[in-house]
Amino acid sequence: MFETGTGVGGTWYWNRYPGARSDSESWTYGYSFSEELLEEWEWEEHFAGQPETERYLNHVADKFDLRRDIQFKSRVTAAHYLEETRGWDVMLEDGRRYSTRFLVTAIGVLSAPTMPRIPGVETFQGQSCHTHYWPKEPVRLRDKRVAVIGTGATGVQTITEVAKTVGHLTVFQRTPQWCAPLHNGKISEEEMRKIRANYPEIFARCQETYGCFIHATDPRAALEVTPEEREAFWEKLYAEPGFGIWMGNFRDILVDRTANALISDFVAGKIRERVKDPVVAEKLIPKNHGFGTRRVPLESGYFEVYNQPNVKLVDITETPIERITPTGIKTSNSEYEFDIIIYATGFDAITGSFDRIDIRGVDGASLKEKWKDGPQTFLGILVDDFPNMLMVMGPHAGLGNLPRAAEYSADWATGLIRFARDRGLTRIEATAAGATAWTDHVIASSQGLLFAEVDSWMTGINRNVEGKNVRRIMRYSGGHPAFRERCEAVAAAGYRELWLA
Ligand code: NA7
């Protein structure tokens, strides 16, 4: 295993910015494969902060003695398939080279951070950093003049936390978000005891739902019920912890424009109630996309931050940022001075982590080139012309509660490698027809879903990256149960849909 960081944890190793926290229930977020692990681990909070999740992942690495197989500080820069050996030549940044029969990529969905393309970024004389690269050493925020650029899930968490200590905070917002309350809380001993006793049911429920969360879609349509019932249901969801308002809502809010407009109005009403200045409230209400059509950031007092006298919201659609200066940020109508600039500007999502490795398959074909107009995969795990490469959480896999999905993806890939090894097969490849059929199915499964009409990292948009300005279907939207069913069928039929040799 090659790992760029100096420790385990991936997302939870890197993203140590203030307020970094999981929006999945912690007790659905751990590994399910070891009863002993489930038995001994005590989650402290219903939604674990970065330190707790990082501690958990270190515990897992220690418990299963994983570190002896991991080479830290090892960035893979290239991986080339060689037909002569039916293996991969893996090259590292420091010049080391390794060869392997199978190449498993577990390089993350959101692991290639991107800085904004704003002139002058490198000229700023104060402290600045992308949230992904937040330093391990404490950053002194008290009494500082701080800027945050970006208001995605990361920006929302960062803003809420830093607003507690900074001297003055200025938020530069391009697109407001439909945030909803997280309602986090400590887990009591009694609750943890119940959780432990219920792990089989909890994981079984996650298997049944669309996104592997404990929240299952309500079978009713929004307009099937009376306005009073609808309102009461939404009040209930808004008051409950986690993604219920997104994943456990009426079945049609993410497909039907009228239903979506109604839930959007409901959440807009909440923003208006929570933000005192009506002008600021309007700026915080999304106008160009409906509720849930982008990843819903869960928050813990985000909107109230804008009631603080030391917090200013700058809508950069009105007054665009012209440049970063040595002392701060210049917009079209003002010049701001800062001690610290925080870039919460997101990631080159899903394919970005692949694009930055020179991955070459049969006859030197480049993966980046192959995916130029959008990924093509078989089950999000295999790619034709790239034999013996298996992707854990590659493009076209389902997203959602990631550990649940990643565990399945890892198991399926392991099953296939075992199958090959047991039969002396040395070459596994998706067929071109298989990859085309899966890619077509992935695209078809997103038809009619409102998210597909909106710019976001989930539709492959990142204006800070060359060529990532056209919407593409990057993930499977048919839901995890359907995904697993398809994967199971392929395995049960002896992987005959693959090209095995
Ligand atoms: P996101 O959700 O992609 O958010 C990035 C934010 O940064 C978003 O508000 C962007 O505005 C903004 N952005 C990006 N580039 C610029 C420039 N050049 N100028 C101004 N603002 C900019 O990333 P996150 O890290 O918050 O979240 C990613 C996922 O990680 C999240 O969904 C969780 O699943 C975990 P835009 O909306 O594009 O107008």
In the chain, where the domains are located = 1-72+190-196, 75-111+349-500, 146-189+197-343
At residue 498, the 3 state secondary structure works out as: strand
CA distances from 98 to 81, 205, 214, 372 (A): 12, 41, 41, 27
Distance CA 222, CA 27 (A): 30
- What mean pLDDT value characterizes the chain? 97
Evaluate whether 35 touches 172 at the Cβ level (below 8 Å). Answer: no
Reading the block at residue 112, the tokens are 């290639």
Nearest Cα to 321, choosing from 173, 440, 191? 173
Q: Which amino acid is at 490?
A: V
pLDDT of residue 53: 98
Evaluate whether 341 touches 330 at the Cβ level (below 8 Å). Answer: no
Q: Is the CB of 18 under 6 A from ligand 1?
A: no
The pTM assigned to this predicted structure is: 0.98
The answer for residues whose C-beta is within 8 angstroms of residue 265's C-beta and 6 or more apart is none
pLDDT of residue 7: 98
The pLDDT profile of the chain, 501 residues, written as one tens digit per residue, is 999 999 999 999 999 999 999 999 999 999 999 999 999 999 999 999 999 999 999 999 999 999 999 999 999 999 999 999 999 999 999 999 999 999 999 999 999 999 999 999 999 999 999 999 999 999 999 999 999 999 999 999 999 999 999 999 999 999 999 999 999 999 999 999 999 999 999 999 999 999 999 999 999 999 999 999 999 999 999 999 999 999 999 999 999 999 999 999 999 999 999 999 999 999 999 999 999 999 999 999 999 999 999 999 999 999 999 999 999 999 999 999 999 999 999 999 999 999 999 999 999 999 999 999 999 999 999 999 999 999 999 999 988 999 999 999 999 999 999 999 999 999 999 999 999 999 999 999 999 999 999 999 999 999 999 999 999 999 999 999 999 999 999 999 999 999 999
Atom of ligand 1 nearest to the CA of 153: 26
Q: Is the CB of 174 under 6 A from ligand 1?
A: yes
Atom of ligand 1 nearest to the CA of 117: 18
Atom of ligand 1 nearest to the CA of 156: 26
Atom of ligand 1 nearest to the CA of 458: 32
Q: In what order do the strands lie in the sheet with 168-173?
A: 127-130, 340-343, 145-149, 168-173, 311-315
Q: Whose CA is nearest to atom 25 of ligand 1?
A: 346
pLDDT of residue 397: 92
At residue 171, the 3 state secondary structure works out as: strand
Q: Which amino acid is at 25?
A: E
Q: Whose CA is nearest to atom 18 of ligand 1?
A: 116
321 CA to centre of ligand 1 in angstroms: 15
Q: Whose CA is nearest to atom 12 of ligand 1?
A: 150
Q: Residues 263, 29, 15, 135: is their CA dihedral positive or negative? A: positive
CA 77 to chain centre: 23
Strand partners, 299: 181
Nearest Cα to 112, choosing from 259, 224, 29, 10? 10
* Residue to mutate (ligand 1; options 345, 402, 456; most atoms within 8 A of CB): 345
* Residue to mutate (ligand 1; options 15, 29, 174, 324; most atoms within 8 A of CB): 174
Nearest Cα to 46, choosing from 235, 244, 218, 207? 244
pLDDT of residue 398: 87
pLDDT of residue 481: 97
CATH code for residues 75-111+349-500: 3.50.50.60
286 CA to centre of ligand 1 in angstroms: 14
Q: Is the CB of 153 under 6 A from ligand 1?
A: yes
Q: Which amino acid is at 203?
A: F
Q: In what order do the strands lie in the sheet with 328-331?
A: 321-324, 328-331, 335-337
25 CA to centre of ligand 1 in angstroms: 23
Q: Which amino acid is at 165?
A: T
Reading the block at residue 164, the tokens are 């507690």
Q: Is the CB of 150 under 6 A from ligand 1?
A: yes
Q: Is 492 left (phi over 0), alpha (psi -120 to 50) or beta?
A: alpha
At residue 321, the 3 state secondary structure works out as: strand
Distance CA 477, CA 71 (A): 35
Q: Exposure of 386 by Cβ count < 10 A (0-12 exposed, 13-18 middle, 19+ buried)?
A: buried
CA distances from 286 to 322, 459, 499 (A): 23, 18, 47
Q: Is the CB of 459 under 6 A from ligand 1?
A: no
Nearest Cα to 211, choosing from 451, 19, 437? 451
Q: Is the CB of 346 under 6 A from ligand 1?
A: yes
Q: Is the CB of 110 under 6 A from ligand 1?
A: yes
Secondary element (H or E) of residue 428: strand 428-430
Q: What is the crossing angle of helices 480-492 and 402-422, to 10°?
A: 10
pLDDT of residue 209: 97
Distance CA 373, CA 379 (A): 18
Nearest Cα to 173, choosing from 151, 154, 195, 191? 151
263 CA to centre of ligand 1 in angstroms: 23
Q: Is the CB of 293 under 6 A from ligand 1?
A: no
345 CA to centre of ligand 1 in angstroms: 4
Q: Is the CB of 154 under 6 A from ligand 1?
A: yes
